Amino acid sequence: MTDDLDDLRKALQAAPAAPDPGAKAAALARAMQAFDTNAERIKEAARQESTDQPRPMSDRPQRAGFLTGVREMLSKLTSRPLLAATASVAAICVGIVITQPGIWQRPDLADAGQKPATEEATAEQAVTNQSAAGAAETKVEPPPRDERARQGAVATSQTPTTETQPPMATPPAPVDLAADAPMADAGEATTGAAQAVGPSPLAKSTEAAPSGVTAYLEAAPAITGQVAPVGEALSDMTAPLPEPDTEAFSNDTPNPVKITAEEPVSTFSTDVDTASWSVVRSSITNGYLPPPEAVRIEEMVNYFPYSYPVPDADGAPFRTQVSLFQTPWNKDTRLLRIGLQGRLPAVEDRPALDLVFLIDTSGSMEDANKLPLLIQSFKLMLGELRPEDRVAIVTYAGSAGLVLEPTEAKDRAKIEAALGRLSAGGSTAGAEGLELAYQTAERMEGEGRVRRILLATDGDFNVGVSDPEGLEAYVAKKRESGTYLSVLGFGRGNLDDAVMQSLAQNGNGTAAYIDTLTEAQKVLVDQLTGALFPIADDVKVQIEFNPAAIAEYRLIGYETRALAREDFNNDKVDAGEIGAGLQVTALYEVTPVGSPALRSDPLRYGAAPTLSDDVAELGFLKLRYKEPGKAVSKLIEQPIPTTPGEADEDARFAAAIAGMGQLLSEPKYLGDWGWDDAITLANGAKGADPYGYRAEAVRVMRLAESLSRP
Q: How confident is the model at residue 155 (pLDDT cuts 50, 70, 90)?
A: very low
243 by Cβ neighbours in 10 Å (0-12 / 13-18 / 19+) ranks as: middle
Q: Does the pLDDT of residue 512 top 90, yes or no?
A: yes
Q: Does the pLDDT of residue 666 top 50, yes or no?
A: yes
User: What pLDDT was estimated at residue 207?
Assistant: 38
Name the β-bridge partners of 338.
322, 586
Name the β-bridge partners of 604.
none
3-state secondary structure 240-263: CCCCCCCCECCCCCCCCCEECCCC
Which percentage of the chain shows pLDDT scores above 90?
A: 49
The answer to whether the CB of 133 falls within 8 A of the CB of 196 is no
pLDDT tens digits, one per residue of 272-285: 999 999 999 999 99
Q: What's the mean pLDDT in 21-38?
A: 72
| Rounded-to-integer distance, Cα 453 and Cα 50, Å | 99
User: What pLDDT was estimated at residue 276?
Assistant: 96
Query: Which helix H or strand E contains 434, and what residues bound it?
Result: helix 430-443
- 27-41, 179-193, 264-278, 524-538: range with lowest mean pLDDT: 179-193
Q: Does the pLDDT of residue 156 top 60, yes or no?
A: no
Q: What's the mean pLDDT in 339-357?
A: 90
237-240 CB contacts, 8 Å cutoff, 24+ apart: 237/192, 237/193, 237/200, 237/206, 238/206, 238/214, 239/206, 240/205, 240/206, 240/207
| Rounded-to-integer distance, Cα 152 and Cα 224, Å | 10
Higher pLDDT, 266 or 12: 266
Q: What's the mean pLDDT in 606-615?
A: 70
Q: What is the SS3 assignment for 511?
A: strand
Q: What's the mean pLDDT in 215-242?
A: 33
The answer to whether the CB of 273 falls within 8 A of the CB of 302 is yes
Q: Does the pLDDT of residue 144 top 60, yes or no?
A: no
Q: How confident is the model at residue 153 (pLDDT cuts 50, 70, 90)?
A: very low
User: What pLDDT was estimated at residue 17?
Assistant: 59
Output the average pLDDT for the chain. Answer: 76
Q: What is the SS3 assignment for 623?
A: strand
Range list of H helices, 100-118: 107-112
User: What pLDDT was estimated at residue 246?
Assistant: 75
The answer to whether the CB of 571 falls within 8 A of the CB of 308 is no
Range list of H helices, 626-692: 649-664, 675-683
Higher pLDDT, 172 or 272: 272
Q: What's the mean pLDDT in 550-566?
A: 97
Q: What's the mean pLDDT in 387-412?
A: 92
User: What pLDDT was estimated at residue 95?
Assistant: 54
User: What pLDDT was estimated at residue 542?
Assistant: 98
Q: What's the mean pLDDT in 77-105?
A: 51
Q: Does the pLDDT of residue 66 top 60, yes or no?
A: no
Torsion of CA 217, 221, 225, 226, to 10 degrees: 160
pLDDT tens digits, one per residue of 619-641: 999 999 999 989 999 999 999 99
User: What pLDDT was estimated at residue 282?
Assistant: 95
User: What pLDDT was estimated at residue 240?
Assistant: 37
Q: Using alpha carbons only, give the angle 53, 56, 57 rounded to the nearest 5 degrees.
A: 135
Q: Supply the Cα-derived Rg of the chain in whole angstroms.
A: 42
Q: Using alpha carbons only, give the angle 316, 321, 322 rounded to the nearest 5 degrees.
A: 135
Q: How confident is the model at residue 220 (pLDDT cuts 50, 70, 90)?
A: very low
User: What pLDDT was estimated at residue 304?
Assistant: 97
Q: What's the mean pLDDT in 310-319?
A: 89
Q: Does the pLDDT of residue 373 top 70, yes or no?
A: yes
Strand extents, DSSP E, 307-466: 318-327, 330-342, 353-360, 390-396, 400-408, 450-457
| Rounded-to-integer distance, Cα 670 and Cα 648, Å | 21
Which percentage of the chain shows pLDDT scores above 70?
A: 65
User: What pLDDT was estimated at residue 346?
Assistant: 81
**How many other CB atoms sit within 10 Å of the CB of residue 51?**
5
DSSP code for 267: E
User: What pLDDT was estimated at residue 487?
Assistant: 93
User: What pLDDT was estimated at residue 19?
Assistant: 63
Q: Distance between the two ends of the chain, CA-based, in angstroms?
A: 114
| Rounded-to-integer distance, Cα 389 and Cα 406, Å | 10
Q: What's the mean pLDDT in 662-681?
A: 97
**How many other CB atoms sit within 10 Å of the CB of residue 611?**
12
Q: Does the pLDDT of residue 84 top 80, yes or no?
A: no
Picking from 318, 268, 319, 315, the residue whose alpha carbon sits closest to that of residue 296 is: 268
Name the β-bridge partners of 497.
none
Higher pLDDT, 461 or 656: 656
Q: Does the pLDDT of residue 225 top 90, yes or no?
A: no
- 42-46, 391-395, 490-494, 529-533: range with lowest mean pLDDT: 42-46
Torsion of CA 85, 86, 89, 93, to 10 degrees: -170
pLDDT tens digits, one per residue of 441-482: 999 988 789 999 999 998 766 545 556 677 788 888 888 888
DSSP code for 600: S
Query: Which helix H or strand E contains 485, and what residues bound it?
Result: strand 483-490
Strand extents, DSSP E, 299-329: 318-327
| Rounded-to-integer distance, Cα 330 and Cα 673, Å | 8
User: Rounded to two decimals, what is the model's pTM?
Assistant: 0.66
